[in-house]
Structure 1
Amino acid sequence: MKLDAKAIGVMFIVCRIIDAITDVLVGYAIDKTRTRWGKSRPWFLFGAVPFALSAFLAFNVPQIAPSGKLVYAYATYIFLSFMYTVVNIPLASILPALTDDMNERTVLATWRKFFAFLGSTIVSATALSLVHLVGKGNEALGFRFVMGMFGIIGSICFFLTFALVRETNLQEQTKSVSLKKTVSSLAQNKPWKIFALNILFQWTGYFLQSAALVYYYKYYVRSTSMASLVATIMTIVPMVANFTVPFLAKKLGKRNLYELSAFVQLIGLLIIFIGQLQTSIIITGAFISALGYGIKESIYFSMQADPVDYGEWKTGVQAAGTLSSLNGFLGKVAQALAGGISGLLLSWGAYNNEALVQNAKALIAIKSMYIYIPAILLVLSIITMYFYRLDKQFPQIQKELAQRRKVKTYE
């Protein structure tokens, strides 16, 4: 659209603020949903086509005045962000309703992450080539067509999810619960509060390191080919490592596996740091880091469901939708934090995007983004999750919940 960069920067901030509100409202709406299809499933059915449409419109460039284009950008980006919330939060909120078995939840989360890795890999490998092929030099036309195609494919996937998934472990509220009471119930949910704090550490480190990858290998290692190789490793290795999670979680427990995988990721970062400019050592470190990251992210999505049951056991409020929406919002906060930190560091280092060689301060800033700060956040993540003790309590909680639900059924 060739709009002013500052105007777009403001737009992103405004949209994140709106996201903060809509995330919680959609999560609460899922908790209040009562249909013959369940609570989360209907959102896939009714959100699929509007989500595809929002993606298509966001990548469309209308032939109007610049001021009109900015208004259009606001409208379509807010629409896209809202529709993403509508179809994404149910992916998390539905997990407790699929099964109450911890191991089955881990297997389901593992498959979710495998196809997420696979989907992102397919898009990364094909999107720009398709844009070039279809647009024939006209990127606006190419993106419009490709996003339309991806939208149709996405809608089909959501329709299949609606048609083939069943909420067999759905627990209904016995009384209507207000949004205020739902949110206040989370204040009594200690495992979730620990998990929520860890979200900030985990995803801030991830987004910060992802943003710095190209800078680090281009300016510090002085090899753009290494940037591509490491990016590929960080995509493929987690996809494979993902399949070890159900077995390891059953042997070690979710919390222990999370901490172990975070430690493995940390070791990988330290090897990259020690390797300096040695290609073979960097590749080894990247592989180990990707291995830890892949396992950690998969077990993270499995762990999301368990504080829902704890909250129901502790307060009587079943808030899968609200809890999932707050988790998603915290992830967006982490993304904003990472963006702010990276911007401040690059500004402090006087980074020059036109220079082939960066000054010493800029290199320190880049290393801080890629290694130092993510390493510190991994340590904080490990320390935080040490206090997460839900794994040991969970069998007893499930037993008591089953007894309560049985009594309610007879009543």
Structure 2
Amino acid sequence: MAKLSWRERIGYGLGDAGFNFYWAIIGSYLIFFYTDIFGISAAAAATMVTITKIVDAFTDPAMGAIADKTKTRWGKFRPYLLFGTLPMMGAGLLTMTTPDLDEGSKLIWAYATYMILMLTYTVLNMPYNSLSAVLTADPQERNTLNSTRFFFAYFTGIIVGAATPDLAEYFGGGDRYNPIGWQITMSIYAVVASILFVITFATTRERIAPPVEQTSEPLKDLKTLLTCKPWIIIFILAMVIMTTFTLRGSSATYYFKYFVERPDLLGAFVGLQVLGLMIGAMSASTLTRYIDKVKLLMMLMGIVSVLCFVFAFVPKPQALGVVDVNESNQTQLQADDLLGEPHQAGDTYTWTRYDKVFWIIKNRVELPETRAQLDIQNLENETLSVIRTRADGSQLDSAHWPPELILMFVLSMLISLALGPKAPITWAMYADVADYNEWKTGRRATGMTFAATTFSQKMGSAAGSAIMLSVLAALGYQANQVQSNASLDGIVYMQTLAPGIFAFIAIIALFFYDLTGDKLEVIQKELAERQQA
């Protein structure tokens, strides 16, 4: 029941910051890297990532069993953070290496290196997750520990999401598509992550151990989990909530490209989502001081469900504002379409090009034409806007957001704030389940408990991706074309209604979870008495 110092809390949290230097670049840029830089087809890359994710999920229980069996003078879980860093660094660099091969050989290389990367990730991440359950048994300390952890995780996600393209361009000699730039960027991330893993190893201490007489029996531990009601519920909960996260994340690109028709805002939308998750995660330890974490999670999932349903009714913006131009052929833009107001006599126009849009406009470059109509040719991957100077001297800028866009961002931010506490709360619940299992059976299988749960998260992630792709295929989605009404509705519902439905399912699952504060207090007291005896 140790009270952890901030040194240990921060030291543990920095470990998840290290993991997100890998995970954020995998989640945000790996498909782009494979298709646009390495030269693998989008379909092949998507299939590869999905298959690898499913295969990787099955390595978690195996790694959990190995970690539970480990005995060293540093503990069961900490040594992996020290000795697994270099293999993971090497795997990350190999994944971002682009040998000159034919298409079939490139795909084999991608499968092999990505699987090795995910395997080494599991070897470090599985023990790291389990470590939170053996630093202290105090439920509130676990809440604070996991809130700190996810603050660092989300903060790193924002940094990697914002900085990676610019770093790749800088180290690639001004060419964002130069593989060297991506390899150097990955090298920097890997070195920083390795340093953070060592800090976590050095600043944490394992305090909770299995009973001295306990022998390693992985199959028995797995069988015990499969008959443990709280673990079954949290297994389902983890899968359902991860499906919610995946649907929101994977559908955002399609939502902004085809429904909103403002793909330039995707970075801001995703970035603010992560910021909301980070703020929500940091609030978890405070909220759980006043509300039992199970009741709190039910309330938060209820808020998410309601807001997602409201989100579904937000209409398409009437004025597009800034427009992303990707065509290489002749294109004609009308100021009226971007501004949402008709031309008036005496009005003049200044067309501008946005550069590097992420949350804020870093630079605006004027284009030479100043008419209400702009004819452009061979202009690829540019974001354009128009400023009208009226006859009375006032200005109307197409970068001013229409109210529908503002409402979309506000609702998304509120949903993320409600989802944010989910991560630290559920990870604390996993540790509670490990305690409950030891109390009930006399065996402690921390690694297996966390491994089987992360297995469900990875399966939920794969399920979310599969649902998204299946719905698009069934509704006739065609890439880079104007979508049919059915396809467009499907994209909107995957971003809004579907996550709301899955959040509601999570509430139903939580009704059957009974490891609440009073029961946990009794369990912790009896476990302490057993240790003393």
| TM-score for the superposition, normalised by structure 1 | 0.94
Show the counterpart of 2:374. Answer: none
Question: In proportion to residue count, which structure has more strand?
Answer: 2
Show the counterpart of 1:258. Answer: 297
Q: CA distance change for structure 1 residues 146 and 30 in 2, over 3 Å: closer, same or farther?
A: same
Give the whole-Å Cα distance in 2 for the aligned partners of 1:390 and 1:91. 24
* 3-state SS of paired residue (1:250): coil
* 3-state SS of paired residue (1:305): helix
Instruction: Give yes or no for contact 1:213–1:370 (8 Å, CA) kept in 2.
Output: yes
Q: CA distance change for structure 1 residues 155 and 402 in 2, over 3 Å: closer, same or farther?
A: same
Please provide the CA RMSD for this pair: 1.8
Show the counterpart of 1:160. Answer: 199
CA shift at 1:142, angstroms? 1.1
- Stretch moving more, 95-104 or 229-238: 229-238
* 3-state SS of paired residue (1:354): coil
Show the counterpart of 2:519. Answer: 393
Instruction: Give yes or no for contact 2:254–2:491 (8 Å, CA) kept in 1.
Output: yes
1:316 paired with 2:442, answer yes
Show the counterpart of 1:268. Answer: 307
Show the counterpart of 1:307. Answer: 433
Instruction: Give yes or no for contact 1:33–1:39 (8 Å, CA) kept in 2.
Output: yes
Q: 1:242-273 CA deviation, whole Å, 9 max, x = no partner?
A: 22211211211110111111122223223322
* 3-state SS of paired residue (1:233): helix
Q: 1:120-179 CA deviation, whole Å, 9 max, x = no partner?
A: 111001111100111122431111111111111111111111111111233345221322
Show the counterpart of 2:125. Answer: 88
Show the counterpart of 2:490. Answer: 365
Question: In proportion to residue count, which structure has more helix?
Answer: 1
State the one-letter code of the partner of 1:19.
D
CA shift at 1:25, angstroms? 1.0
- List alignment gaps of at least 5 residues for structure 2: 1-37, 317-403
Give the whole-Å Cα distance in 2 for the aligned partners of 1:330 and 1:28. 16
Q: 1:56-103 CA deviation, whole Å, 9 max, x = no partner?
A: 111101234444433322221111010010111122101111000000
- Structure 1 residue aligned with 2:228, among 189, 192, 198? 189
Show the counterpart of 1:349. Answer: 475
Give the whole-Å Cα distance in 2 for the aligned partners of 1:376 and 1:262. 10
- Structure 1 residue aligned with 2:287, among 231, 240, 248? 248
CA shift at 1:293, angstroms? 1.0
Show the counterpart of 2:137. Answer: 100
CA shift at 1:20, angstroms? 3.4
CA shift at 1:292, angstroms? 0.3
CA shift at 1:301, angstroms? 2.1
Write out aligned runs for 1:163-312 (5 A).
163-277=202-316, 278-312=404-438
Give the whole-Å Cα distance in 1 for the aligned partners of 2:103 and 2:514. 54
Instruction: Give yes or no for contact 1:173–1:317 (8 Å, CA) kept in 2.
Output: no
Instruction: Give yes or no for contact 2:477–2:487 (8 Å, CA) kept in 1.
Output: yes
Instruction: Give yes or no for contact 1:185–1:317 (8 Å, CA) kept in 2.
Output: no
Instruction: Give yes or no for contact 1:110–1:245 (8 Å, CA) kept in 2.
Output: yes
- Structure 2 residue aligned with 1:329, among 436, 439, 455? 455
State the one-letter code of the partner of 1:105.
R
Instruction: Give yes or no for contact 2:306–2:500 (8 Å, CA) kept in 1.
Output: no
Give the whole-Å Cα distance in 2 for the aligned partners of 1:217 and 1:8. 22
- Structure 1 residue aligned with 2:82, among 40, 45, 52? 45
Q: 1:368-396 CA deviation, whole Å, 9 max, x = no partner?
A: 21112111101000111121110131111
- Stretch moving more, 80-89 or 314-323: 314-323
* 3-state SS of paired residue (2:289): helix
- Structure 2 residue aligned with 1:121, among 153, 158, 168? 158
* 3-state SS of paired residue (2:480): coil
Show the counterpart of 1:133. Answer: 170
CA shift at 1:7, angstroms? 4.4
Instruction: Give yes or no for contact 2:54–2:458 (8 Å, CA) kept in 1.
Output: no
The size of the alignment, in residue pairs, is: 406
State the one-letter code of the partner of 2:527.
L
Give the whole-Å Cα distance in 2 for the aligned partners of 1:336 and 1:84. 17
Instruction: Give yes or no for contact 2:161–2:271 (8 Å, CA) kept in 1.
Output: no
Show the counterpart of 2:344. Answer: none
- List alignment gaps of at least 5 residues for structure 1: none
Show the counterpart of 1:60. Answer: 97
Give the whole-Å Cα distance in 2 for the aligned partners of 1:287 and 1:19. 31
- Structure 2 residue aligned with 1:379, among 493, 504, 507? 504
Give the whole-Å Cα distance in 1 for the aligned partners of 2:309 and 2:67. 42
State the one-letter code of the partner of 1:23.
D
State the one-letter code of the partner of 2:66.
A
Q: 1:167-216 CA deviation, whole Å, 9 max, x = no partner?
A: 12333452213221010110232111100011111011110111111212
Q: CA distance change for structure 1 residues 244 and 20 in 2, over 3 Å: closer, same or farther?
A: closer
